[in-house]
Amino acid sequence: MIGASSIRKEGRAKVLGTAIYTDDKFMPGALHGLTVRSEVPRGILRAIHFGEGIPWEEFTCVTAEDIPGTNLVASVVDDQPFLIGIGEEITHSQQAVLLLAHPDKFLVEKARRAVRLEIEELPAVLDIQSSLDLQPLIYGTNNLLKEIRIAKGDPDPIWAQAAHVIEGEYRTGAQEQMYIEPNAMLSVVEPRDGLLQVTVWGSLQCPYYVHGALRQLFGLPEKQVRVVAMEMGGAFGGKEDYPSVNGGHAALLAWKSGKPVRLIYDREEDLACTTKRHPSRTRLRTAFDAEGNLLALEADFILDGGAYATLSPVVLSRGAVHAASVYRCPHVRIHARAVATNTPPPGAFRGFGAPQSLFAMERHMDVCARKLGLDAVELRRKNFLHMGDTMATGQVIREDLDLAGLMDQALAAIGYRDKRAAFALTNPGDGPIKRGVGFSVFMHGCGFTGNGESHVASVAGVEGLADGTVAVLAASTEMGQGKNTVFAQIVAEALQLPVELVDTAPVDTDHVPNSGPTVASRSTMMVGRILEDAAIGFKLALVQQGFLVEPYTPESFQAAVVKAVATLGTLRCYGQYHRPPNIQWDDVTYQGDAYPTYSWACYAAEVAVDLDTFEVKVADFVAVQEVGRVVNPTLAAGQIEGGVAQGIGWGLWEEVTMQRGRMINNQMTNYIIPTSVDLPRIQVVFLENAHAGGPGGAKGIGELPMDGPAPAVVNALENALGALRLDEVPMTPDRLLERCEEVSHG
């Protein structure tokens, strides 16, 4: 079962149109909810005026004053209010101030436009540099949401001695997740047995995050809050932390109105106000000896964290740990900061900080190769990490790592040498099309950074059902990545059953334990491993209690489960995460095993640039990765292909344009994601290498493909166009034209 391309469990329902997404849930009499937001980036809310011509008495209106519990969204740091009250400070342009609900969706939209907010504007911080300069101070004592330092050796004495010191600055823009299903919530709040019962059905990645947020918002015990994850139309991190906000809003409206409430964002609202990838600025300083060996590395890594901390501390942490990338370096200093600005808070997006710092490092390696007069392939080959080397956090590589082999395979597959030689001959010609080929080598840490897994202490289980089949009990959600199928395969393998006999239980906090958030490429490796334990425990229990005799057939197993359920009632077995003894991490010094293991990859891209329009076409793309054992090759390839598409989009086209702290291209017409005609066929290669961590040796896979495409594509642009200041993504036609003009104007 592990290693087979089992058919997607919920594929049939999705292709029949019977899969139920949040807005599809039948709920007669539901009101339509809407959110009224501030439109200025910073100020004090003085008054809310309800305009004329609207039957306000028919509306349910919720303001900060109505909140029954705590007006703070439960997160890493509880600093973000659900709603801003009169006299309080508005800190970004999409801040929710008032919630409205009415049975008529046309009228509720009209009502939103009739509300006028009286706001006393204050000067705002809208970019990283103003935040660092405290112009003005807007958050805490220093505008920092989080600061991290990682040190290994001492780079200071090296700069003067080294043969070469090369510096560079790199920037990456915000990126929208652009799941095709916008954020959606449905809530009912009603008394049951004399107690208030809050229920939210939603498009959400982390049911227990929303559960915690609702408990705090209403001041209710665990049992009185229920969160159900519906079928989800994509997420990519975009439904990791934000659902705590809109889930709370929907529940507030349902509670005040006493009716079911739908809170479905339209695309423009979703783009303008929900989380994005953090914009970044990275300054790198590297020292090399005369042969090109890396001696020292200093990274100043900054993320624009927006108005509240949200997930910035953890995004920063992953970005910081990945800043030194796949290279051996004796002296490293990483200074990472997430700064506050008066913009809607960014959050999780596939890659979670790593794509930003890896873009910088992989671009920088090509720049260094050029400045050192070395080949970009050979410079990397000299400096790769190997078994026994230590990374920036002091983590020792314990696996037999062959990055050079990985790189050579990717380069051979794309025909790197031949293409370089051919383009060197054709590019100097007069034609407007210039071609180039480039690559990146990178890693992605699997699971949470540092002690994250120990803090969450995930629980997952299996349950025997009356018909003799087995259900997987976990709060991990299906967002299209294939969790339903992969979990079933893992449990089926552990129980030696056909995969048809195992399915996942609906993700409902009343029914499934907290297996942790569905993030960080952790579900297969971390939760899968717990499920393996739970399944084996389940089987042993059946044997010990005399229901099952080994060896067994699927039929006798099924019969045993039927009998056991009939005799005992419920039949469940749970497993829990235990930290492997050889994994150590210190949250204060940032030293130790930042991740239990890493996935490794080399991506190579061929581009064609049209110098008449500055449009870039990606003509060929190869993705070679080592992700341990592949549980389901078709689903895994789908993850890589989709991630590469998003990575290419981030590298070339996907630009969030901000004006006064507000996204102004908040439509699918002017925020451009790749379509079927914009992408080449992506060659996906998996190099297997069994690792002890995950089930059957699986590692994380979901985020890895986001890290490599942008630097590979931009490195290819340098090959096509020569030495330009290619230091930023997205490298849109405008930006590319500007960079070319810099050179021609000297």
Partner 1 sequence: MLTKNAAGVKARKRLCMTVNGRAVEIEIDIRESLLDVLRDRLQFTGVKQGCSVGECGACTVLLDGTPVNSCIYLATWAHGKAVVTIEGLAQDGKLTPVQEAFVDEGAIQCGFCTPGVVLSTTAMVDSGKCFTHDEVRRELSGHLCRCTGYQKIVDAAERALREADIAADEHPV
Please check whether residue 416 is in contact with residue 437, taking contact to mean a CB–CB distance below 8 angstroms. yes
Residue with smaller CB distance to ligand FES, 170 or 179: 179
Residue 96 C-beta: closest distance to partner 1, Å: 21
Q: Which is nearer to ligand FES, 180 or 424 (CB)?
A: 180
Tokens encoding 320: 């910081």
Residue 232 contacts residue 21 (beta carbons within 8 Å): yes
The residues, any chain, with a CB within 8 Å of residue 42's CB and separated by 6 or more, are 89, 90, 91, 92, 121, 122, 123, 124, 125, 138, 342, 661
- Tell me how many residues contact ligand FES (CB under 6 A): 3
Which string of x and - marks every residue 263-302 that binds ligand FES (by CB under 6 A)?
----------------------------------------
Under rule CB under 8 A, residue 114 binds partner 1: no
Pairing state between β 459-464 and 572-576? antiparallel
Binding characters for ligand FES, 76-115, by CB under 6 A (x = yes)? ----------------------------------------
Residues 166-185 interacting with partner 1 (rule: CB under 8 A):
177-182
β partners of residue 658: 663
Cα 708 from chain centroid (whole Å): 15
Q: Report the relative pairing of strands 682-686 and 96-102 from DSSP bridges.
A: unpaired
265 vs 359, beta carbon nearer ligand FES = 265
Please count the residues of this chain forming the interface with partner 1, following the rule CB under 8 A: 61
Do 595 and 585 contact (CB within 8 A), yes or no? no
Residue 665 C-beta: closest distance to ligand FES, Å: 17
For residue 180, state whether it binds ligand FES (rule: CB under 6 A): yes
Binding piece for partner 1, criterion CB under 8 A, among 5-13, 274-282, 411-419, 491-499 = 5-13
Helix, strand, or coil (residue 145) = strand
Residue 606 Cβ vs partner 1, minimum distance, rounded to whole Å: 17
- The answer to whether residue 11 forms part of the interface with partner 1 (CB under 8 A) is yes
Is the distance from CB of 128 to CB of 108 less than 8 angstroms?
Answer: no
Closer to ligand FES by Cβ: residue 163 or 180 = 180
Query: Can residue 107 be called a binding residue for partner 1 (CB under 8 A)?
Result: yes
How far apart, in whole angstroms, are the C-alpha atoms of residue 308 and residue 314? 13
CB of 490 to ligand FES, least distance (A): 23
State the DSSP H helix or E strand holding residue 566, giving kind and residue range, or none if neither. Answer: helix 554-568
CB closer to ligand FES out of 346 and 480: 480
Quick check: 10 binds partner 1 (CB under 8 A)?
yes
One symbol per residue from 213 to 242: x for binding ligand FES (CB under 6 A), - otherwise; what is it?
Answer: ---------------------x--------
- Which residue's CB is nearer to partner 1, number 325 or number 477? 477
Crossing angle of the two packed helices 354-372 and 376-383, in degrees rounded to 10? 110
Cβ atoms within 10 Å of 194's Cβ, excluding its own: 5
Interface residue with partner 1, options 346, 355, 450, 642 (CB under 8 A): 642
Q: Which of residues 234, 330, 405, 415 is near partner 1 by CB under 8 A?
A: 234
Q: Does 189 bind partner 1 (CB under 8 A)?
A: no
Binding of partner 1 by 236 (CB under 8 A): yes
Q: Is 233 a residue that touches partner 1 (CB under 8 A)?
A: yes
Report DSSP letters for 494-516, one per residue.
HHT--GGGEEEPP-BTTTS----
List residues bridging with 146 in a β-sheet: 338
Binding pattern to partner 1, positions 668-687, x when CB under 8 A? xx---xxxxx-x-xx-----
Question: For residues 609 and 720, is the Cβ–Cβ distance under 8 A?
Answer: yes
Write down the least CB distance from residue 232 to partner 1, Å.
6
Q: CB of residue 35 vs ligand FES: minimum separation in angstroms?
A: 20
Question: To the nearest whole angstrom, how small is the minimum distance from the Cβ of residue 479 to ligand FES?
Answer: 9
Q: DSSP characters for 343-378?
A: SPPP---TTTTHHHHHHHHHHHHHHHHHHHT--HHH
Which of the residues 508 through 567 are near ligand FES (CB under 6 A)?
Answer: none
Contact between 56 and partner 1 per CB under 8 A: no
Residue 180 Cβ vs ligand FES, minimum distance, rounded to whole Å: 4
Picking from 336, 275, 278, 350, the residue whose alpha carbon sits closest to that of residue 75 is: 275
Closest contact distance (angstroms) between CB of 675 and partner 1 is: 4
> Tokens 């070395």 sit at which residue?
374
Interface with partner 1 (CB under 8 A), residue from 133, 190, 266, 555: 266
Q: Residue 647 corresponds to which tokens in the numbers above? A: 């990575």
Q: How far is the CB of 19 from ligand FES (least distance, A)?
A: 11
Closest CA to 189 of 399, 352, 30: 30
Beta bridge mates, 471: 463, 503
Nearest distance, CB of residue 57 and ligand FES, angstroms: 33
The distance of closest approach from Cβ of residue 169 to ligand FES in the complex, given in angstroms and rounded to an integer, is 35
Q: Report if residue 41 touches ligand FES, rule: CB under 6 A.
A: no
Q: How far apart are CA 151 and CA 158, in angstroms?
A: 14
Phi, psi of 663 (to 5 degrees): -75, 125
| Residue 622 near residue 688, CB atoms below 8 Å | no
Distances (CA, A) of 272 to 42, 76, 269, 489: 16, 23, 5, 39
Alpha carbons 107 and 139: distance in angstroms, whole number: 38
Check if the beta carbon of residue 415 is closer than 8 Å to that of residue 381. Answer: no
Among 405, 402, 454, smallest CA distance to 577 is for 454
Does residue 232 touch partner 1 according to CB under 8 A?
Answer: yes
CB of 245 to ligand FES, least distance (A): 23
Q: Which of 79, 91, 88 is nearest to 125 (CA)?
A: 91
Handedness of CA 685, 689, 690, 691 (dihedral sign): negative
Inter-residue contact 65 to 45 (CB < 8 Å): no
For residues 58 and 586, which CB has a smaller minimum distance to partner 1 in the complex? Answer: 58
Q: Is 69 in the site for ligand FES (CB under 6 A)?
A: no
Asked if residue 664 binds partner 1 (CB under 8 A), the reply is no
Of 115, 369, 531, 644, which one interacts with partner 1 (CB under 8 A)? 644
Is 26 a binder of partner 1 (CB under 8 A)? yes
Peptide bond into 136 cis (omega under 30): yes
Q: Nearer to ligand FES by C-beta: 188 or 479? A: 479
Nearer to partner 1, 558 or 666 (CB): 666
Q: Does 674 bind ligand FES (CB under 6 A)?
A: no
The site partner of 159 among partner 1, ligand FES, none (C-beta below 5 to 8 Å per kind) is none
The CA distance from 32 to 106, in Å, is 9
67 binds partner 1 (CB under 8 A): no
> In the bound complex, what is the minimum distance in angstroms from residue 29's beta carbon to ligand FES?
25
Instruction: Decide whether 212 or 233 has the Cβ nearer to ligand FES.
Output: 233
Phi, psi of 601 (to 5 degrees): -155, 160
With CB under 6 A as the contact rule, the residue among 81, 212, 480, 647 that binds ligand FES is 480
CB of 318 to partner 1, least distance (A): 22
Q: Determine the Cα–Cα distance for residues 306 and 450; give it in Å rounded to an integer.
A: 24
Regarding 345 and contact with partner 1 (CB under 8 A), the answer is no
Q: Nearer Cβ to partner 1, position 173 or 464?
A: 173
The two three-digit tokens of residue 729, written as one number: 């993504």
| Interacting residue ranges for ligand FES, rule: CB under 6 A | 180, 234, 480
Binding site for partner 1 (CB under 8 A): 5, 7-8, 10-12, 14-21, 23-24, 26, 103-104, 106-107, 110, 177-182, 231-236, 266-267, 479-482, 634-635, 637-638, 641-646, 667-669, 673-677, 679, 681-682
